Structure 1
Amino acid sequence: MRRGSDWTPRLAAGDGSLADRLASALADDIARGRIAPGDRLPAHRDLAWRLDIGLGTVTRAYALLERRGLVVPERGRGMFVAVPPAPPPGPVDLCVNTPPRTLDTQALRASLARLATRIDMTGFGSYTPSAGTPQHRAMMARWLARDRVDLPPSRLMLASGAQHALAVAIATVTGGRPGTILTESLTYPGIITIARHAGHRLQPVMIDDQGMCPEALDRALHTAMRDGHPGQRLIYVTPTLHNPTAASMGRARREAIVGVATAHDAVIVEDDVYGVFAGSDMPPLAALAPDRCLYVSGLSKSLSPGLRIGALAVPPAFLEAAADALAASATMAPPLGCLLMESWLEDGTAEAVEQAVRAESRDRTALARQLLGHHVPPRETPGFHIWLPMPRPAAEALAMAAAARGIRVTPPSAPVVDDRPGAPAGLRLCLGGPSRDALTTALGSIADILNRLPDETADRIAV
């Protein structure tokens, strides 16, 4: 016989609805083990009475948790905390930058079952526009307009994930011809792959604790003009939770970057896949310079990696070129993914999952800071990766020592654009993939390795 929970009812802090605050409190206490898998939650009426809230509020909160797969109703018995599957054996993966898993298998299967009642061969058996149907583009535009960027659906194109949208953006600006892309001296490995494949040269721009430095960008653009390369005016930048350093630009820095780009008539490709973590004072560059910024976002980082729906917002002057670049790389946006997106945006699953990703990421970032201490530079924006700055030899040695303990980390060479001596270096740790227990153990092991690192012999870490 399964026992009732000893949970002390509470509402999470914040200005959300009572149902959202109750669901957040329960989800947090389930994640922290304060409510065990298999425990029975308080009955609806009892919980409503104890918190002095409406019965409908409890019903809505439990429904939010059920959509995420955190609780399971049993007819005539009540609501129970779901029992998660055992984690797979093998190394702990801190290498892949994935959001924390806040939607479980049962909830996904329920979503797909509901989707099965809506799909038919009339739509699935025909081609849709390569940029997505007008309905799906409008839905994505409304999703982005909530707290990121407000733009008409006619300027928004759907792609097979943000990586695809990024490749289309680069091809749009360059016309498919090899050129030069100015980017941070440490940058997203995916743009390095795109550049290498298309024959582009990456020119590093110095970074600091807010990401790309406007003064360094200005010098790089001046140098390009002086050396007779006026075509080198394409900037790729990640203003929020820069990958790999987790730096975020404040509003003044964003305005300065846009000012430099405007002065040189440069085009910006903005990677905003981590915009889910941006504050109200961190507007997208596309909102500050809509006529010279191609904006890339998607659902894989804010909801789930399997939902491969990317978004590309294009200034009017680039619409025709972007349509050609998109059509050349994909016949149409993934139909099943678009239908699942439609379902999740309509029934509230997307918003519930996004809120849960934010909350879990805050907790995991706090855990990393607690265990790794001064090795993690202070950042105000939590996400699901952190950066350990250190000399390149130390980073390589730390990666090897972590591998010896069964912990996979991002190779220190992966994000490097500027490999000159003294250039910024370090190690990225991705926090979203493992279970909370596995992450705690892995970070504890990395802290132990770091504490064994002598200042004078950074390339000799005890395993």
Structure 2
Amino acid sequence: MSRDTFLGICMLMKSPWEPWIAPGDEPVYQRLAAAIAEDLVNGKIAPGSRLPAQRDLSYRLGVGLGTVTKAYGLLARQGLASSFHGRGMFVTSKILTTRKMVDLSLNVPPNVISEKLLSGTLASLATTIDADTYRACTFPKGTLDQRMAVAGWLQHYCASADAERMIFCNGGQHALSTVLTALVAPDICLATDELPFPGLVRISHLLGIELVGIDTDPEGLLPEALERIACEVASRKKRLVLFTNPTAQNPTGRTMSRSRIKDIAVICQRRDILIIEDDVYASFAAHDRICFLDLAPERTYYINSFATLFTPGLRLGVLIAPSHQLDNLVRVLRAQGATDSPISRLIVHKWIADGVASHISRTTSAEAAVRNKVAASIFSSISDAWIGSGFHMFLSMRHSAAFALASAARERGIMVTDPAVSLSDGNDQSGIRLCLGGPTRLELSAALREIATLQVQLGQGTKATAKDLGDNMNA
């Protein structure tokens, strides 16, 4: 075959790719490149296949020719496609090695803290740090200035945040572990949502604490269910402790209303139930919110964490406890030998003082809103998809279906959390938590579309046909 004949055949080849554009707020050329890259990695286009001619693709998608040119250029720079003069753009074999795991199992915030900000902060601290103060043993309370700054910051979300009753921990999970270690006793029973926070389950099993599940509705814990559990626990001569994260509950994403929080607090006061309030997603709550700490400070252990809201590397958790329990908690912390990070305390103190903390919080919340909007558009045709305001969403289903979906997702290169296990006897209710903060936007949208497609293929919770879902995702 002559060269001219070969080139002619190449020009007449029809591309196997069905054009679409990934959703999102990025420039159209980036989303077009992401759509092509996703289909390359997923095997929908074989290595060596010809991509559509630029003018043809521009016409079919209704975008400018320059947009297509920039998208193809981006693919070429990524090594996913190569242009041959007179023949067009072709998929390269590199796609066989570009697939990587997309991790939707880690509930971390979006990365909004730049290297410039972090390095600038550390450089500034290096010139101002007082060696004598740094060497001083301020664990676990830090300095009064640090506690006052953190209390002032938290009062945006919880009016009763109090520097005098505050101690620092190595993140929110460490704070929770400290409280449970201080409370553990043979007669303690810990109540929480029927689909519980996985970190709570791990710590409770480690400490040998009995867990009981409370029935929920779209607003979270049901007051009448808590009353029922309280009566049952009292009949066994046990003391009840309630764990709750009222905003963006982990894993379901449900948020309690102001009235529901008040109803639960009244029961806890009447029944003498201690409260552990995990408020790490407070920044996503409504402006008129109220905390259990506001309503029942004498019985509430309040937990927050800059590691959860800002970045996992910022190891600073906050624990505000009843005054008469502070000494006991400090003893537990010293016995554990696990401390908060003094550097993290200095960073947080500086960021609060400089207004950087407020900027990070606003930026993180805005990014979370964008990601939740993407998730909502993709799962609009899937029933029982709970999408809230935080860094995660929840697909509710039976345990067997959740296990099947998790296994299928892993085979497609997507890591998800293990299926949730209900605390209620005989209840097969389960689901999959999908964490939205870790991947890039493009990685996230591609992974979520893949999971939505898997749900259709597995016949799970669909309100529409596979064709409807595809049309919705390509809209």
TM-score scaled by length of structure 2: 0.74
| 2:281 is the alignment partner of 1:274 | yes
Q: Which runs of 5+ in 1 are unaligned?
A: 1-30, 38-84
Look up the SS of the partner of 1:273 in the other structure.
coil
CA distances 1:142-167 after superposition (whole Å, capped 9, x unpaired): 11012323333111111111111111
Q: Which residue is equivalent to 2:333?
A: 326
C-alpha change, 1:130 and 1:177, in structure 2 (3 Å) is: farther
Q: Report the Cα distance in structure 1 between the residues aligned to 2:221 and 2:176, rounded to whole angstroms.
A: 18
Aligned partners of 1:376 and 1:386 also within 8 Å: no
Q: Which residue is equivalent to 2:235?
A: 226
Q: Which residue is equivalent to 2:213?
A: 204
Q: Which residue is equivalent to 2:95?
A: none
1:211 Cα offset (Å)? 1.5
Q: Which residue is equivalent to 2:440?
A: 435
| 2:370 is the alignment partner of 1:363 | yes
Aligned partners of 2:315 and 2:340 also within 8 Å: no
Q: Report the Cα distance in structure 2 between the residues aligned to 1:202 and 1:150, rounded to whole angstroms.
A: 28
Alignment length, in residue pairs? 375
Q: Report the Cα distance in structure 1 between the residues aligned to 2:187 and 2:171, rounded to whole angstroms.
A: 23
Q: Which has the higher helix share?
A: 2
Aligned partners of 2:196 and 2:422 also within 8 Å: yes
Q: Report the Cα distance in structure 2 between the residues aligned to 1:140 and 1:36, rounded to whole angstroms.
A: 43
Look up the SS of the partner of 2:128 in the other structure.
coil
1:455 Cα offset (Å)? 5.8
Q: Report the Cα distance in structure 2 between the residues aligned to 1:456 and 1:305, rounded to whole angstroms.
A: 34
1:172 Cα offset (Å)? 2.9
Q: Which residue is equivalent to 2:123?
A: 113
C-alpha change, 1:365 and 1:377, in structure 2 (3 Å) is: farther
C-alpha change, 1:330 and 1:133, in structure 2 (3 Å) is: farther
Q: Which moved more, 1:375-384 or 1:266-275?
A: 375-384
Aligned partners of 1:277 and 1:381 also within 8 Å: no
Aligned partners of 1:376 and 1:387 also within 8 Å: no
Q: What is the percent sequence identity of the aligned residues?
A: 32
Q: Which residue is equivalent to 2:430?
A: 425
User: Of 122, 125, 130, which residue of structure 1 is paired with 2:140?
Assistant: 130
1:381 Cα offset (Å)? 4.3
Q: Which residue is equivalent to 2:380?
A: 373
Letter in 1 for 2:396: P
1:334 Cα offset (Å)? 1.6
1:34 Cα offset (Å)? 4.2
Q: Report the Cα distance in structure 1 between the residues aligned to 2:339 and 2:447, rounded to whole angstroms.
A: 41
Q: Which residue is equivalent to 1:32?
A: 25
1:417 Cα offset (Å)? 4.5
Look up the SS of the partner of 1:390 in the other structure.
strand
C-alpha change, 1:220 and 1:433, in structure 2 (3 Å) is: same
Aligned partners of 2:265 and 2:295 also within 8 Å: yes
Q: Report the Cα distance in structure 1 between the residues aligned to 2:151 and 2:314, rounded to whole angstroms.
A: 17
Letter in 1 for 2:340: A
Q: Report the Cα distance in structure 2 between the residues aligned to 1:447 and 1:164, rounded to whole angstroms.
A: 35
Letter in 1 for 2:116: Q
Q: Report the Cα distance in structure 2 between the residues aligned to 1:120 and 1:103, rounded to whole angstroms.
A: 26
User: Of 447, 454, 458, which residue of structure 2 is paired with 1:449?
Assistant: 454
RMSD over aligned Cα, in angstroms? 2.6
Aligned partners of 2:253 and 2:387 also within 8 Å: no
Q: Describe how 1:287-298 pairs up with structure 2 within 5 A.
A: 287-298=294-305
Letter in 2 for 1:197: L
Q: Which residue is equivalent to 1:78?
A: none
Aligned partners of 2:252 and 2:386 also within 8 Å: no
Q: Which residue is equivalent to 1:310?
A: 317
Q: Report the Cα distance in structure 2 between the residues aligned to 1:148 and 1:379, rounded to whole angstroms.
A: 25
Aligned partners of 1:395 and 1:426 also within 8 Å: yes
Q: Report the Cα distance in structure 2 between the residues aligned to 1:97 and 1:455, rounded to whole angstroms.
A: 24
Q: Which residue is equivalent to 1:184?
A: 193
| 2:404 is the alignment partner of 1:394 | no
Q: Report the Cα distance in structure 1 between the residues aligned to 2:338 and 2:181, rounded to whole angstroms.
A: 16
CA distances 1:51-86 after superposition (whole Å, capped 9, x unpaired): xxxxxxxxxxxxxxxxxxxxxxxxxxxxxxxxxx99
1:140 Cα offset (Å)? 0.8
Q: Describe how 1:233-252 pairs up with structure 2 within 5 A.
A: 233-252=240-259
Aligned partners of 1:236 and 1:270 also within 8 Å: yes
Look up the SS of the partner of 1:300 in the other structure.
helix
**Structure possessing the higher radius of gyration over alpha carbons:** 2
1:242 Cα offset (Å)? 0.5
Q: Report the Cα distance in structure 1 between the residues aligned to 2:176 and 2:461, rounded to whole angstroms.
A: 42
Q: Which runs of 5+ in 2 are unaligned?
A: 1-23, 31-77, 80-97, 467-475
CA distances 1:244-294 after superposition (whole Å, capped 9, x unpaired): 000000011101111111121110001101111011233111111111111
Q: Which residue is equivalent to 2:165?
A: 155
